[in-house]
Structures are given as structure tokens and as C-alpha cells.
């Protein structure tokens, strides 16, 4: 891994010294460093030996410095999804950007020594179908969400799987999530946590107006179609990973399937999903074996 690119979130001024440290660490280890415009804009002399990174460069590793939102942005812009990502957390939760910034030097050394594993994650393929034609295509790592642009109003949706009608939903919205996204918006709406190495779709209604409409997990070879119904169709928005939104028109159909490509993360050998959800969500806490 000789060519290493760094992308950061937009507002990284308070972490300037940390970013400089990362660059120097990579250069001291004889790595060729590429920086995107976010990483460059708060630096001057420190980046004179770094090349520009435009997400279509041929690199061996993409280091994402920020939080989970920065990782999601990177996966949206990446042209070559075969390039592995290493997430360095300077945000809050850090499910996707798990490595603490103070561990960067040691983490890189372990990676150069081959002490890592690749962690491929499935993506959603979201297609907007209008008059029988696909007019927009997006990919999503965490989730697809549909809801109204106005607050406190419900939407009416017909949900089908492989052309079979499975649900008529009255709710504040609807989520289709990946296992990676099971700890994000879907979880807050009452969806289950899935291990990220699984491949599945999680269908989660948001505040449904029925006790019978509960989240369901289905296999990834299925094709999901969502057809907005009722009076509020002109104000419906679809959102991918909380980053890209599109307003839909009357008669539009949203088709969701498994994307043909995957995003690949690098993980250290001692990293564990259960350790992450225990640290981030306090999962499993509160049970005292002493009976106290």
C-alpha cells in the first residue's frame, strides 16, 4: 500500500494538528500521500509534498478522517469501490470510523505488516422509476428512507417484494436498511441489530399507524418496490444515507435491490462488532450476575 489518500469532513479546523501528524506519519513510512480538497483547505506548507485526490485517482488505501457521515460521503463519491477504507474517528459514535485518532501510528504499522482483515459490506441499489424508465440511480451503504418533506403528516405506501404485495403502510416514513445500517436510523425506529457480515434487507416502518406493522428482515436477492399512494404524494422525499435527497413525482416507483458492488473496510485483527456495539450503544449492559 504505497499510495494513500486522505479525505476529511468539511469542518476539521480544530483537528489541523492531528491531520498534519497523520500526513507526516505516512510520509515517514515512505507512503505517497494524496489529499482531497477538504483536507487541503485548512493546510498550507504542510501539504506541499502531497498530491491532489479527486476520488477517481488510483490509490491503494483511502483514510477517512471524521465521523460516520464522512465515511458515508466517501463511499458515495468513490469511483473504485475496490479501494479499501480505513476510518479514523474524530466524530461522535464512530460505527464506521472506528479507529481512534491517537492510535493512527500504531494502526498504520499493523496494516503495513499485514495484520488486518478485509471487511466487505453490501450496498443498496436505489432506482427511481418514472413512466417505466429508470431516471435516477443511487447507492447507499446504510439505508434508504422515504418520508414527507413536511413534518407531522403520514404517508401511504404499497410495499411489494419480488412483485408480491406484502404491506400497505400508513406511517411517518419507511426505511430499507443494510446490516451496516442496522445500528443507524433503522435502530432508532425500532429495527433489529444485524451483524454487518450478513447480507439482508431490513424493512422498518417509521411510527406506523398499526400495531401489526413491525420490522422484517428479508434475504438480499429480493427486489423491493415502494409505490406512494394517497393524498400527500407530491411532497414525498427519498433519502440515501441521510446525504442525498430526491423529490419524487406522482406515479413514481422506487425499486431497491442489492448493489452489484461492495464497499471494503480494513479492520485490525482484534476489532470486534460486539465490542463496538458494547462501547457505542452499551449493548448488554445492566445485567448483574451477582443479582444486585
Query: Does the annotation mark 158 as catalytic?
Result: no
Does 286 reside within a domain?
A: no
Does 272 reside within a domain?
A: no
Compute the distance between CA of residue 229 and CA of residue 251 in angstroms, rounded to an integer: 9
| Residue with more model confidence, 47 or 157 | 157
pTM of the model: 0.90
Compute the distance between CA of residue 53 and CA of residue 34 in angstroms, rounded to an integer: 5
Q: Per residue in 55-88, pLDDT tens?
A: 887 899 999 988 889 999 999 999 989 999 999 9
Taking residues 32-45, report their average pLDDT.
Answer: 81
Q: Cα 157–159–161 angle (5° rounding)?
A: 170
* Domain span holding position 108: 3-114
Where is the domain boundary, 114, 144, 160?
114
254: confidence class by pLDDT, cuts 50, 70, 90: very high
Q: Is the pLDDT of residue 286 over 70?
A: no
Domain match, 162 and 89 both: no
Average pLDDT in the chain: 88
Catalytic residue among 68, 119, 241, 252: 68
Q: Per residue in 212-238, pLDDT tens?
A: 889 999 999 999 999 998 766 668 999
Domain match, 137 and 22 both: no
Compute the distance between CA of residue 158 and CA of residue 233 in angstroms, rounded to an integer: 12
Q: Which residues, including other chains, have CB under 8 Å from residue 132's CB and lie 6 or more apart? A: none
Domain match, 162 and 78 both: no
Query: For the domain that residue 146 is a member of, what is the CATH number?
Result: 2.60.200.30
Query: For the domain that residue 69 is a member of, what is the CATH number?
Result: 3.40.50.10330
Q: Sheet containing 244-247: which strands, arranged edge to edge?
A: 216-218, 201-206, 173-177, 143-148, 236-240, 244-247
Does 189 reside within a domain?
A: yes
Does 282 reside within a domain?
A: no
Q: Per residue in 205-214, pLDDT tens?
A: 999 988 888 9
16: confidence class by pLDDT, cuts 50, 70, 90: confident
Amino acid at each position: 500500500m504505497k499510495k494513500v489518500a486522505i479525505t476529511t469532513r468539511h469542518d476539521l479546523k480544530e483537528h489541523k494538528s492531528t491531520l498534519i501528524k497523520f500526513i507526516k506519519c505516512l510520509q515517514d513510512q515512505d507512503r505517497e500521500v494524496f489529499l482531497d480538497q477538504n483536507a487541503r483547505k485548512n493546510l498550507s506548507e504542510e501539504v506541499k509534498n502531497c498530491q491532489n485526490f479527486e476520488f477517481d485517482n488510483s490509490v491503494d488505501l483511502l483514510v477517512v478522517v471524521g465521523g460516520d457521515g464522512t465515511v458515508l460521503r466517501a463511499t458515495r463519491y468513490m469511483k473504485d469501490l475496490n479501494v479499501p477504507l480505513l476510518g479514523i474517528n474524530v466524530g461522535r459514535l464512530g460505527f464506521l470510523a472506528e479507529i481512534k485518532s491517537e492510535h493512527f501510528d500504531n494502526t498504520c504499522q499493523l496494516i503495513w505488516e499485514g495484520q488486518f482483515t478485509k471487511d466487505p459490506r453490501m450496498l443498496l441499489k436505489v432506482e427511481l422509476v418514472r413512466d417505466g424508465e429508470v431516471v435516477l440511480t443511487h447507492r447507499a451503504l446504510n439505508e434508504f428512507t422515504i418520508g414527507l418533506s413536511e413534518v407531522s403528516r403520514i404517508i401511504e405506501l404499497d410495499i411489494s417484494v419480488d412483485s408480491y404485495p406484502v404491506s400497505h403502510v400508513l406511517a411517518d416514513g419507511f426505511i430499507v436498511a443494510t446490516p451496516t445500517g442496522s445500528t443507524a436510523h433503522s435502530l432508532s425506529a425500532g429495527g433489529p441489530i444485524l451483524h454487518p457480515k450478513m447480507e439482508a434487507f431490513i424493512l422498518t416502518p417509521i411510527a406506523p399507524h398499526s400495531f401489526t406493522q413491525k420490522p422484517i428482515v428479508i434475504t438480499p436477492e429480493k427486489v423491493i418496490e415502494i409505490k406512494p399512494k394517497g393524498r400527500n404524494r407530491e411532497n414525498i422525499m427519498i433519502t440515501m444515507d441521510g446525504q442525498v435527497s430526491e423529490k419524487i413525482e406522482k406515479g413514481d416507483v422506487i425499486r431497491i435491490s442489492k448493489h452489484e458492488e461492495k464497499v471494503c473496510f480494513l479492520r485490525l485483527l482484534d476489532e470486534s462488532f460486539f465490542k463496538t456495539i458494547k462501547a457505542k450503544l452499551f449493548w448488554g449492559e445492566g445485567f448483574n450476575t451477582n443479582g444486585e
